[in-house]
């Protein structure tokens, strides 16, 4: 393995690659690991600022044109994209940069920038020397070309590999050049010209065939591939393509070819053949042009609104003939999956005091991998500062938002309200650590993040408890019709149907009513028993020591009080009394839920 100064690695392919064996044997975890190896430099959509992407800036001035030179890190970014899509297709992912073509690809990009459009055969701009024009013309006529995309990485993944426009769908030529088995080297150019029609113009050398054809064995190369395939790199309106091994299949007998696509979850079927000619809908074509693998079947079904995670499609191709005239069928299954989990936060509105720091709690949908790369941005940097570990600091009074972005347009926002502390409204010293933990888990909502020694009401307890349950069980609590006559609150409904809190005899939730300490013990054990199936064994046996006011504890609460005490979720006072009818305070609520969170998590 080779690595550069930035820690990225270049994969070395085996001497011989068998496409069908590779795609059928790998798992979604294998693809995720490869993605982490080949992911782009940044989660941001535009990180290729003209002031930073060049070692030497190009010149667009008539009479003094210069090719310039991209920094190695930006070219390697595009190389990673190239190798990632080749890996997905089952091809060797060891393509490297051919720096001898740097000037050629730069001039191809500059030619198109100066002409304000894309052409493989561009005219010569005024006052451009013949030598530079010929160099750029050679590059333009042997490269994939693109305009308007912010990065080379996105150009490869979502420009060339998509090829869904009406002018490209009939041949998907950009895609086929990238998935050409013999490719072993390529090179990129980029011309950023903000005042031009598209702003950015790029080129990718396409004609390399340095690899020995015998090093890649395949019956077909498909996009999306057979086996597992990530949702993030294939849109529902992208065309599917299957490049057939030219040494095996007859490129002259294609009129009978048709494709049947069947979605497994609902049995829906699409039949596509030469009568499917709608470039905006159902489409089918067989192209035998000279783009990478010459014999390629292209099809796109209409009416797929989205790919669900683990959405499987059976692809069946009939009407194909081998070189010796035998009819044959090609069949495989593609299973889409969510490669990069969606970002979410456990809370969307947080209160901070000036000078207070807070680490934003992040969750990744369907994933426990906490090593996802994220970018944090403050929309009000004079009010909130943020570092790239997610630690936000309140600088002055006001409101602001922290935007969190991940790959593939995954994002979340957290709003903050910043005020100046009066110096007295703060959690007690004994509760501070647990309060901070509860806040980091989103259990302290904005309206209850004050007056910490005041009574906690039933709505506030339910809100924090529901958040704790949903986080620890990893799924939302389902909602139904409200059983209460005094509230339609989703929080109250979830607390009821999860078995945590009930209403009174009049079917009222009484959201503003305070909670006693013995009631809190019952509620705590309801949560504990719901989340911990081994609760009985964990808290079995009589209490070793009775509270001095044991007689004052209601019979319906006594078992829960001693169970909660045994688990160290609730304590008595220094005199050994429990005070069962004392009001539960906000800071006591946060402290005991923090302890319960830690206990269940461990």
Instruction: Give per-residue pLDDT as tens, 297-332.
Output: 999 999 999 999 899 999 999 999 999 999 999 999
In sequence order, what are the residues at sequence separation of 6 or more whose Cβ sits closer than 8 angstroms to the Cβ of residue 314? 260, 261, 262, 264, 331, 332, 333
pLDDT at 589 over 80: yes
**pLDDT tens digits for range 14-37:** 468 899 999 999 999 999 999 999
d(CA 178, CA 92): 11
- Omega within 30 of 0 (cis) for the link into 410: no
Q: Which residue ranges make up each domain of the chain?
A: 1-209, 219-338, 340-421, 451-602
- Other Cβ atoms less than 10 A from the Cβ of 328: the count is 14
∠413-38-298 over CA atoms, to 5°?
95
Tell me what the mean pLDDT of segment 362-388 comes to: 82
Nearest of 448, 447, 369, 380 to residue 414 by alpha carbon: 380
Do the beta carbons of residue 83 and residue 99 sit within 8 Å?
A: no
Q: What is the mean pLDDT of the chain?
A: 91
Same fold for the domain at 1-209 and the one at 219-338? no
**CA–CA distance, 390 with 370 (Å, rounded to integer):** 12
CB atoms within 10 A of CB 393: 16
Of the candidates 450, 465, 445, 574, the residue with the CA atom closest to the CA atom of residue 515: 465
Fold of 340-421: Immunoglobulin-like (2.60.40)
Residues 558 and 598: their CA atoms lie apart, in Å, by 24
Topology adopted by domain 219-338:
Immunoglobulin-like (2.60.40)
* Cβ 504 vs Cβ 519: under 8 Å: no
517's enclosing H/E stretch is helix 517-531
Separation of alpha carbons 101 and 139, rounded Å = 8
Residue with tokens 């461990």: 602
CATH architecture of 1-209: 3-Layer(aba) Sandwich (3.40)
Q: Among 21, 349, 300, 330, which Cα is nearest to 170's?
A: 300
* Angstrom distance (rounded) from CA 508 to CA 297: 64
- Identify the pLDDT of residue 368: 57
- Per-residue pLDDT tens over the stretch 167-199: 999 999 999 999 999 999 999 999 998 888 899
Q: What's the pLDDT tens digit per position in 257-269?
A: 999 999 999 999 9
Q: What is the mean pLDDT of residues 570-575?
A: 86
């Amino acid at each position: 393995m080779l690595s550069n100064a930035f820690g990225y690695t270049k994969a070395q392919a085996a001497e011989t690659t068998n496409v069908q064996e590779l795609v059928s044997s790998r798992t979604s975890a294998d693809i995720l690991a490869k993605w982490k190896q080949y992911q782009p430099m940044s989660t941001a959509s535009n990180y290729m600022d003209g002031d930073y992407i060049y070692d030497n800036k190009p010149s667009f001035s008539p009479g003094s044109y210069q090719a310039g030179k991209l920094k190695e890190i930006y070219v390697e970014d595009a190389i990673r994209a190239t190798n990632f899509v080749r890996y997905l297709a089952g091809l060797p992912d060891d393509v490297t940069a051919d720096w001898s073509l740097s000037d050629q690809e730069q001039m191809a990009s500059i030619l198109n920038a100066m002409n304000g459009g894309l052409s493989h055969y561009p005219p010569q701009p005024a006052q451009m020397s013949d030598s530079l024009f010929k160099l750029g013309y050679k590059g333009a006529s042997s490269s994939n070309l693109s305009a308007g995309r912010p990065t080379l990485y996105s150009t490869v993944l979502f420009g060339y590999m998509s090829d869904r426009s009406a002018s490209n769908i009939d041949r998907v030529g950009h895609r086929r050049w990238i998935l050409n088995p013999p490719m072993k080297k390529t090179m990129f150019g980029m011309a950023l010209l903000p005042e031009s029609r598209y702003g950015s113009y790029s080129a990718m050398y396409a004609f390399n065939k340095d690899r020995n054809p015998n090093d890649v064995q395949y019956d077909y190369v498909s996009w999306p591939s057979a086996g597992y395939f990530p949702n993030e790199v294939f849109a529902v309106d992208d065309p599917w393509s299957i490049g057939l091994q030219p040494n095996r299949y007859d490129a002259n007998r294609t009129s009978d070819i048709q494709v049947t696509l069947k979605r497994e979850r609902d049995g829906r079927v699409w039949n596509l053949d030469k009568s499917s000619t709608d470039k905006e809908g159902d489409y089918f074509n067989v192209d035998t042009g000279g783009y990478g693998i010459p014999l390629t079947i292209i099809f796109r079904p209409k009416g797929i609104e989205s790919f669900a995670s683990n959405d499987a499609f059976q692809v069946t191709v009939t009407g194909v003939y081998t070189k010796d005239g035998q009819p044959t069928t090609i069949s495989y299954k593609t299973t889409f999956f969510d490669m990069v989990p969606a970002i979410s936060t456990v809370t969307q509105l947080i209160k901070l005091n000036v000078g207070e720091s807070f680490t934003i709690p992040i969750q990744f949908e369907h994933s426990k991998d906490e090593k996802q790369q994220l970018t944090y941005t403050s929309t009000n940097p004079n009010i909130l500062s943020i570092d790239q570990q997610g630690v936000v600091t309140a600088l002055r009074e006001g409101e602001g938002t922290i935007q969190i972005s991940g790959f593939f347009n995954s994002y979340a926002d957290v709003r903050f309200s910043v005020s100046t502390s009066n110096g007295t409204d703060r959690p007690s010293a004994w509760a501070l650590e647990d309060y901070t933990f509860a806040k980091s888990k989103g259990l302290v909502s904005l309206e209850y993040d004050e007056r910490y020694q005041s009574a906690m009401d039933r709505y506030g307890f339910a809100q924090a408890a529901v958040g704790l349950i949903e986080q620890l069980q990893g799924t939302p609590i389902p909602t139904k019709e409200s059983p209460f006559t005094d509230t339609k609150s989703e929080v109250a409904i979830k607390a009821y149907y999860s078995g945590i809190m009930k209403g009174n005899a009049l079917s009222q939730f009484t959201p503003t009513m305070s909670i006693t300490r013995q009631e809190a013990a019952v509620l705590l054990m309801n949560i504990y028993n719901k989340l911990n199936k081994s609760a009985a064994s964990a808290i079995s046996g009589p209490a070793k020591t009775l509270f001095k006011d044991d007689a004052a504890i209601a019979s319906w609460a006594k078992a829960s009080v001693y169970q909660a005490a045994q688990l160290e979720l609730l304590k008595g006072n220094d005199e050994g009394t429990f005070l069962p009818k004392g009001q539960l305070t906000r800071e006591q609520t946060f402290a005991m839920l923090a302890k319960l969170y830690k206990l269940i998590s461990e």
